[in-house]
Structure 1
Amino acid sequence: MGALWQLLERPAEYEAVRGALTNGHTGGVVLVGAAGVGKTTLARLVTSVLSDPVRWAACTASSQAIPLGVFAPWIAASASRDPLALLHSARENLLARPGTVIGVDDAHLLDKLSATLVHQIAVDRGAHIVTTVRAGEPVPDAVTSLWKDGYLERIELAPFTKKQCTQLVETVLGGALEGLSADVMWESSGGNPLFLRNLVEGAVEASTLTDVNGVWQLRGPTAVPAGLVDLLDERLTRAGGPVLDVLEMLAVYEPLDIDVLSELVGADAVDAAEATGLIRVARHNGAVDVRFSHSLLGEVIRRRVGTAAARARRGRLVETLRNRDTSTPAHRIRLAQLCVDSDRPIDIALLVDAAKDAVSLSNLPLGEQLARAAWERGGGLRAAELLSRALLWQGRPQQADGILARFDPDCLDPLQLVQWGVVRASLQFWSLGDVEHARELVEVLRTRVEYPALRLTVDAAAAAMAVHENHIAAGIQAAERVLADPNSPRQAIDFAAFALGLAMPVAGRGADFAPIAARSRAQRKSTDGIIRVMVGYGEVLALTTLGDFDLAERRATEFREFSSAGQFVGWAIARIAVGVVATYRGRFRAAITAFEQALAALDAETSLPWKLPARLLLARAYAVLGEVEHAERVLADAEEHSGPYMALHEPQRMIARAWLAAAAHNPHSAVELARKAADTAHRTGQFALEAEALHHATRFGDRTLAARLAVVAGRVQGPAAAIYARHAAALANSDPCGLAAVSREFESAGLLLAAADAAAQTVPIYDHAGQRRPSAGAAARTMALAAQCDGAGTPAITAAARPLPITEREREIAALIGRGLSNRAIAERLCVSVRTVEGHIYRACIKLDAADRDQLAELI
């Protein structure tokens, strides 16, 4: 792994350094930057390719104590001890060969005499010089003069961007890095290549950075290897006691208000720490906060502080902060964390509130930690309910249910009963798939709870379950009733919006969900962060069914910003939303990346049900690109989530199977499956999905659906379904002009693959009429649109791209031969006789002048 860390190039900086060392207009270059930013690596990389001789001197703290210590190897043994004689001897030997380049690493550690020598050589232009200086360190005046007086060019070496960090880590690991993990790594390392390397290698060693189904994920605390500890320890030792006092206080609570920190350790100490570059002071939301310059520095400091000392420092902070503003979730969470590990009494109510904040922010491991601390200290049902929710969302429903099972519902008051019952029914329904038990729990709640607001919460949860059981109309009606009631509590509103976000888009009521989504966005706080994310996902679904892909993409981008690896479930759902938009827009490679990363993030002890919608669209994306084996694998994996609790997604499952059949060159089965999906969607009130499924069948070649699509289009909000209907009518009438017009409509709407299919379907019509010129133009348009969809292939595109004088059935059989199926296997698959299969093969071979079935398959 070590050598790979040098692979990421800095082309602009490389050329600047090389130019400064090779032209006659400058004396060289000073590279300035933080420790570990790559100054020495870049300097040595440039000098390694120079034809001129290079003399490298590496400064250290010990060489700084000796006059000309770093240049001792170039001082003649016979030289006088007189400083001027030593300077003369070192200079003569350094410059003995013409064109010599002098490299000085860590020039801020030069002693005065050595700094004078480098300064003289620069002034006299005796040699080109490349030197590195660490930012934030005191620098000798002679070295500062090198760039201030224009003798050398100064180049600031900035940390890597997030894109560069991700690219480097993926190169080293040899695989894709999860986007959320990439964000956390970049934030933790500050873009510093050395810190990044130590973070990655330490995390791999500690098994907190692991490969999950081809995607590398960072989970758990940041691991800091010994090498980085040693590097920073040297710097910390030189920082001095007051600065260390600042750092140790900041290590137990970051960020910290500058006034609070100054009160605890003194303003002079804070100023001294800032001067070293170890901390940074920034204004945030009207307050002035102090943070470590790199988060890994905090990890190193925490290792230096003993347990007892750390508890005492936390205790001092608790006393200082207890009476200050704790109105924000961030303040409450950090104060609760301080309390847990301090030497002061613990406020159980604070722990519960902070756990609630963490769950609301989708930080599930943190919510679990705080709720468990409250639960173990007698926090009761409130703590248990929060702990169970955090465990549930992380894919550990058995543990969550075990905690709730300790409570006797007969001993709970109505409020407690709802708190207990809604969570337990949710985990029974979604995570364990036990629909009957979940229904029984809901009925218990309805029987025993009479208070209207509490009944509304139960009704909202039941509505979400009804939607997932594919009782669309009943679920929508119940959820809308909850939202219309002014007495609905926040939890009821969240659950109702969640139900409607999944139901209204597929029911063809995407526009009706817009005010509900706006209401949810306006509420800055939710009772459950994951539910809130799911409402955002529902808004993206609604906008997609309406055909407003630009706004859908903006919404998907808006709610996917997460800052902690603990928010992995919310991040994954947001990535699924991104994949949904990409799929409908025909950006299939981007969709595959988003879905695969989301699925890896959702990998858990008990598979999370939110994987299902991602898998179904992922299978479709793979199928469209002709990657049949991947599509088959994903659909097989999707079978783990099937049954009444996921019946909502059955039409999408059938649509995915239809696209797989199309990819396997089985258009008849593709049409049959798409129509079956439409029938299922119609029976359950998923009218948008019915329209979409009928349109897929039209694209697969079914010419009989115009009348049905025209009816369904009238029940679906947004323009997309009406275009579907016009497409079906044009195909039924073999109208190339109508198909071309529809193709342009699809392109304008952003449905590029549908546009390609409509254009492709004009090709055989033109061919049949002997109109070669419009046929060629339509084929060219088809290929151009398909290219924008990552080279997607559909039955219509394939036929338009490579028109062959054979029937669809003959093409289908030839494709199955190419997949290695025998004639008997093909006959069984297509429900025909072996003799019929042989007849098709014979006629296709005659038409294409193929000698046998193998040549036929190769041609296809």
Structure 2
Amino acid sequence: MGEHTDGGQDLIGREDLVEEIASVLSGSQYLGAILVGEAGVGKTALARTVARELDGSVAVLPISASPSLRKVPFGALSPYLHSLSINDVGSSVAVYRSIMAHLESSSNGQKKKMPLFLVDDSHELDDNTSVLLSQLIAGRRARVLALARTAPNPSSEFGSLHQDGLLRRYHVRPLGAPEVHELCRRELGGDVLSSVSATLAQTSGGNPMFLLALLRQGKRSGYLGVRNKVWRLVGPAPPLDVSLVDLIKVRFRRRTPEELSVLETLALAEPMPLDALVHCTDRPAVTALQEDGLIAVEGGRDRLVTLSHPLYGEVIRQDVPAGRSLAIRRKVLEVLDHDSSTADGFLRFVAWGLDCGLPPDDKTLLRAAVVANRLHDAEFALRAARAVHEPKLRGNALVEIARAQTTRGNLPYARQIVDEVLDQCESFTLAKEASLLSVALRVRGSNAAERIREDVARWKRITDRIASEMEPPDDPQVAIGLGVSANGHRILESFALNYEGRFQESEKILREVLADPYCSDEVRLAALSLLGEALGSMGKAVEGTQATGEALQIIAAHGHKFVGHSEFVITRHFVSMAHAGLWDEIEELLDTLVRSKASGPSSFTGITELSEGLIALRKGLMGSARTALILGVEGLRESDSNQLMPMALGLAAFACTMVGDTTRAKVYATEFEAGASIGTRQAQLLGKVHVVAANALFQGAARSIEELHVLAKQAATDGMTVLAAVAYELAGRLGDERCFEPLARLTESFEGPEGAVMTAMAKAAVQKDPNALIDAAELAQSSGYLLVAAECLGKAVRYLSQRGEEHKSRTVQQKLNTIIGQLEGLQSPQFEAVRSTSKLTQRELDIARLAGQGYSNRDIAEAQGVSVRTVEGHLYRIFAKLGITSRDELPGADPASIG
């Protein structure tokens, strides 16, 4: 029973399976179950949990099979054969009688259900034991829970019982991404960046035993580090731990030399087309390994073959001698098409050529550097680019070197290279690539918009010079080069305008670019992304989401050609959807494009958590928002190519304030002020309005409200209408009533659910109409805006009470109490105006307890030292606050339910 046991804690992601298996073992339809899965997937832990679930209702008899005992008849049953003499050990009849005696004694005279054999590694049982156990099971003398590897299959006897319908078979699969993340949190004892758990999920293949080994080794080696109570990856991954290597090597024992040759070839070459693998190795060996689940063959034209687990290749490569490795690579190079359908396959082809002294041509090397940079593999990009020697390609190679140095954080060196390339540039394409990289470096500093315009001016000078020097001047290629470059200039000008929050000006330019005949696919995806950002920021979020969604489709249609633009596009797509309030669509995108992929050092780190935190914050799920935004801030410290940190810090400060975490709120607010000049103007102002709202706890609501009005008017004047609406909304949350009229005007033309919710709330608040507020609350609740719904109902309760409509007020109060209970961890005094309608004073709490325990008004008056009339008045207010009509509904001595 040596597989993953999960530390004896409850299993993660297996709850439904445990319940189902326990039900099968307790029912009458089946006589047992077989759990099948790869080593370490958690079969043993699952079986032990099922045994605990049965809670002593059956006697559990563990049996542990092993390769060594397989050679001994009935060897696995030895713990239950103590009464046998040496002469009887080989007798099937004697063994049967001994086991039957043990089964009868295990019941201890009690009327229990049939005993349960818990058989670990049942595929290692000797034939005699398999036959005996199957006879006991078929004769209804016992049940069985058998554990077996995927390959080899369970014993033929158990297989027959399954085919006869007597045993239920379950395939225990690896953990999915959410379960891996939760297991990482449990093992590390703290919050974990999603990029960390995604990387570990890919490396471990979701195998719990492998994952736990990687986590423990990561902590020991320093590969996993913690900062501000958040775990992250630090530096390169260490070599696999010896114990983990030994666990994996067990899978390859007893393989033939031909099969080992296939495994070695795949370890060096995966993914590899099936035809190429068979040509280099042995077809029967390939078939055998596929049947045993050690290799996997995909569908598709190439039928790519890989090892069935990500760690297998690393373990196998360690044992391949250098000479044999070189021989295998040379052999594969002879049959492998360098135009591989996968980026990994293409890069491996180039790497082998360099390793074997047979480098490809310079154009292929340059393409390899480009692909490696798109995949954030800076080390190989440098290796390939530095191997380019052709003078005409040297400038392009230098750009890829600068890009790789940017990924590695060597920004001054990258800047030096880029400037050198642009000074000597003789190509339209090279001028574009170098200028775009220069802009990527600009946004990491201050005065980014001004410096971007300097880059645009330089790019224009370069294109004009190149065109003037080309012969003949009327060459169509010159016109194309100038046309594409001109659109690139306008894209960067729009980028600078968006950076400054001048979205109306940017929209005009971008629409002209999209209508231009020289609008290439790359220019189009950039234009659509920036247009979506602009439209979303001006209240046209649905149209903006359509634009950014089209940009994502362009990326998907071109394979890995434009994958380097993914983060730029996806970030703007998230923001557009958030402005629209399309929460379900954001969750779907996170699952399909981000959470499902292992993240490299700069691939979506922090963006996932920031998006989740923003969703939770808008919904009013404050505890979840705080957790996600803290993780988002830490993730953006690793990589923030879109300069989202100012926004993240502001949102985190506000979320911390709303749950009473004043210490972190102050830290984030201080850090925001220290870096307020970095990032886009919209990100700066969005962070600012949330910091101002958070500071209301420290400087008073009145001052924060006035600051928010100033920021809102400034944003509205500059065309950032969504940002202005957020500022007015936060002012209203602090108790300001003046904000609702301008908020209603701004949001009336907004697209999407969020605009409709804000408009309904603001108009009802202006009218002070309780019925309209109730309707607005229902709309907000159905759209997922619980905090807004609570605010609307709180106002409705107050206005109804002022009108003397106490019965309706109590009914609305009941709805409000329900919603308040869903606002996770909300503790902020800023929300006191809403919460106070249902919060009892200490005197009211004491009276409610006594009344709930059956004391009369006179008894309560004597106990509290007040008059009966005073008690009656308190009870009236208690009933109104709690939305109840009789003493029977009082929560009595349960203060948690009335506080």
Normalising TM by the smaller chain, what interval? 0.7 to 0.9
Partner residue, 2:643: 609
User: Cα distance, 1:3 vs. partner?
Assistant: 7.6
Q: Which amino acid aligns with 2:441?
A: L
Which of 520, 535, 551 is residue 551 of structure 2 equivalent to?
520
What residue number does 2:862 align with? none
Partners of 1:400 and 1:590 lie apart in 2 by 39
Counterpart code for 2:712? A
* Residue aligning to 1:62: 68
Over 3 Å counting, the alpha-carbon distance change for 1:8 and 1:731 in structure 2 is closer
How far apart, CA to CA, are the structure 2 residues paired with 1:486 and 1:408? 27
The partner residue of 1:652 within 661, 683, 686 is: 686
Residue 314, structure 1, aligned to residue 337, structure 2: no
Report the alpha carbon displacement of residue 681 of structure 1 after superposing the two structures with TM: 0.6
For residue 847 of structure 1, what is the aligned residue in structure 2? none
The alpha-carbon deviation at position 60 of structure 1 amounts to 3.2
Cα distance change of structure 1 residues 124 and 319 upon mapping to structure 2, 3 Å threshold: same
Please point out which of 7, 10, 23 is paired with 1:5: 7
Change (3 A) 1:433 1:609: farther
Quick check: 1:488 aligned with 2:519? Answer: yes
CA distance in 1 between partners of 2:746 and 2:483 (Å): 38
Distance 2:27 2:542 in 1: 65
Cα distance change, pair 25–512 in 1 and its aligned pair in 2 (3 A): closer
The farther-off stretch of 95-104 and 288-297 is 95-104
CA deviation after TM superposition for structure 1 residue 377, in Å: 4.5
- Assess, with a 3 A threshold, how the Cα gap between structure 1 residues 684 and 203 changes in structure 2: closer, same or farther: same
1:681 equivalent among 690, 715, 721:
715
Report the Cα offset of residue 511 of structure 1: 4.7
Residue 195 of structure 1: aligned partner: 210
Aligned to 1:537: 571
> Amino acid of the residue matched to residue 431 of structure 2?
L
Structure 2 vs 1, CA of residues 6 and 242 (structure 1 numbering), >3 Å: closer, same or farther? Answer: farther
Give the conservation status (yes or no) of the 8 Å contact 2:621–2:823. Answer: yes
Contact 1:17–1:46, Cα closer than 8 Å, also in 2? yes
How far the C-alpha of 1:43 sits from its partner, in A, is 4.7
Shift of 1:409: 1.1
Deviation of 1:239 after TM superposition, in Å, equals 1.4
Determine if contact 2:43/2:172 at 8 Å carries over to the other structure. Answer: yes
Which position in structure 2 is the counterpart of 1:852? none
Matched to 1:255, the amino acid is P
Q: Secondary structure at the match of 2:655?
A: helix
Distance 1:347 1:613, change over 3 A: farther
Give 1:245 shift.
1.3
Please give the TM-score of this superposition, normalised by the length of structure 2.
0.78
Matched, 1:427 2:431: no
Give SS of 1:60's match.
coil
Asked if 1:404 is matched to 2:428, the reply is no
Paired residue for 1:108? 123
The count of aligned residue pairs is 800
| Distance 1:644-1:459 versus aligned 2 partners, 3 A rule | farther
Q: What residue number does 1:619 align with?
A: 653
TM-score, normalised to structure 1's length? 0.81
Listed one character per residue, the Cα deviations across residues 671-716 of structure 1 (whole Å, up to 9, x for unaligned) are 1121021122134221222233233324433333466446545775
Distance, in Å, in 2 between the alignment partners of 1:14 and 1:656 is: 45
Q: Which residue of 1 aligns with 2:310?
A: 295
Q: Distance in 1 between matches of 2:205 and 2:36?
A: 16
Distance 1:122 1:439 in 2: 80
Of 612, 628, 649 in structure 1, the residue corresponding to residue 662 of structure 2 is: 628
Identity of aligned residues (%): 24
Residues of 2 paired with 1:669 and 1:261: CA distance?
72
Residue identity in the other structure for 1:265: T
SS of residue in 2 equivalent to 1:277 = coil
The gaps in structure 1 that reach 5 residues or longer are: 806-859
In the alignment, is the contact (CA less than 8 A) between 1:469 and 1:647 conserved in 2?
A: yes
Q: Which amino acid in structure 2 is aligned with residue 542 of structure 1?
A: S
Asked if the contact 1:396–1:605 (Cα under 8 Å) also holds between the matched residues in 2, the reply is no
SS in 1 for 2:680: helix
Question: SS of the counterpart of 2:705?
Answer: helix
Q: Residue 39 of structure 2 is aligned with which of 35, 49, 68?
A: 35
Query: In 2 relative to 1, CA 88–797 (structure 1 residues): closer, same or farther, beyond 3 Å?
Result: same
Shift in Å at residue 444 of structure 1?
2.2
Return the letter of the residue paired with 2:579: T
Q: Which residue of 2 aligns with 1:639?
A: 673
Q: Please, which of 283, 293, 296 is the counterpart of residue 277 of structure 1?
A: 293
1:410 and 1:605 map into 2 onto residues whose CA distance is 31
Counterpart mapping for 1:806-817 below 5 A: none
Q: Contact between 2:399 and 2:421, CA under 8 Å: does it hold in 1?
A: no
Once the two structures are superposed, residues 572-617 of structure 1 have per-residue CA deviations (whole angstroms, 9 ceiling, x without a partner) of: 3354344434433334444444433333333338997232322322
Q: How far apart in 2 are the matches of 1:539 and 1:3?
A: 42
Find the aligned partners of 2:25 and 2:774 in 1 and give their Cα distance.
Answer: 62
Q: Which moved more, 1:666-675 or 1:423-432?
A: 423-432
> What SS is found at the alignment partner of 1:449?
helix
Q: Report the Cα offset of residue 797 of structure 1.
A: 4.7
Q: Look up the SS of the partner of 1:457 in the other structure.
A: helix
Q: Secondary structure at the match of 2:704?
A: helix
The alpha-carbon deviation at position 722 of structure 1 amounts to 7.3
Q: Work out the CA distance in 2 between the residues paired with 1:803 and 1:31.
A: 55
Q: CA RMSD in A?
A: 4.1
Distance in 1, Cα, partners of 2:561 & 2:37: 45
- Deviation string 1:368-407 (CA, Å, 9 cap, x unpaired) is 5334432354463323323433553565534533543554
Tell me which of 756, 759, 764 is aligned to 2:790. 756
Aligned pair partner of 2:495 in 457, 461, 464: 464
Q: Of residues 349, 357, 364 in structure 2, which corresponds to 1:335?
A: 349
Task: Go from structure 1 to structure 2 and tell me whether the alpha carbon gap of 1:278 and 1:211 turns closer, same or farther (over 3 Å shift).
Answer: same
- The alpha-carbon distance between structure 1 residues 437 and 62, as it changes in their structure 2 partners (threshold 3 A), is same
Tell me if structure 1 keeps the 8 A contact 2:398–2:421.
no
| Residue in structure 2 matched with residue 703 of structure 1 by the alignment | 737
Counterpart of 1:666 in structure 2 is: 700
Match of 2:273 among 251, 257, 262: 257
Query: Which is worse superposed, 716-725 or 400-409?
Result: 716-725
Instruction: Report Cα offsets for 1:232-260 as digits up to 9, x if no partner.
Output: 32331311111111111111222322222
Structure 1 residues 725 and 307: alpha-carbon distance in aligned structure 2, compared to 1, 3 A threshold: same
> Which range moves more in the overlay, 17-26 or 156-165?
17-26
Query: Please, which moves more after superposition, 557-566 or 603-612?
Result: 603-612
Q: Secondary structure at the match of 1:239?
A: coil
SS at match of 2:487: helix
SS class of match (2:606): helix
Measured against aligned partners, the alpha-carbon deviations of 1:438-483 in whole angstroms (never above 9, x if no partner) come to 5443332233322332232233223213322334444444444333
Q: Could you tell me which residue of structure 2 aligns to residue 838 of structure 1?
A: none
Equivalent residue for 1:455, pick from 480, 486, 492: 486
Q: Report the residue type matching 2:496 in the other structure.
A: M
SS of 1:344's equivalent in the other structure is: coil
Distance (Å, rounded) in 1 between the aligned partners of 2:59 and 2:318: 44
CA distance in 2, matches of 1:337, 1:142: 50
Q: Which residue of 1 aligns with 2:150?
A: 135
Superposed CA offset, 1:328-359 (max 9, x none):
54543443344444453234433432443455
Deviations, residues 48-82 of structure 1 (Å, cap 9, x unaligned):
87598876554333333445555567778995668
**Contact 2:195 2:599 survives alignment (8 Å):** yes
* 1:225 maps onto 2:241 in alignment: yes
Measured in 2, the distance between the counterparts of 1:62 and 1:210 equals 42
Separation of aligned partners in 1, 2:563 and 2:807: 57
Whether the aligned pair in 1 keeps the contact of 2:646 and 2:678 (CA below 8 Å) is no
Q: Shift in Å at residue 24 of structure 1?
A: 9.5
Give the drift of 1:46: 6.3
Paired with 1:473 and 1:793, the residues of 2 have a C-alpha distance of: 40
Amino acid of the structure 1 residue aligned with 2:10: L
Q: What code does the residue aligned with 2:194 have? A: G
Structure 2, unpaired ranges of 5+ = 107-114, 465-481, 840-898
Match of 2:460 among 428, 431, 446: 446
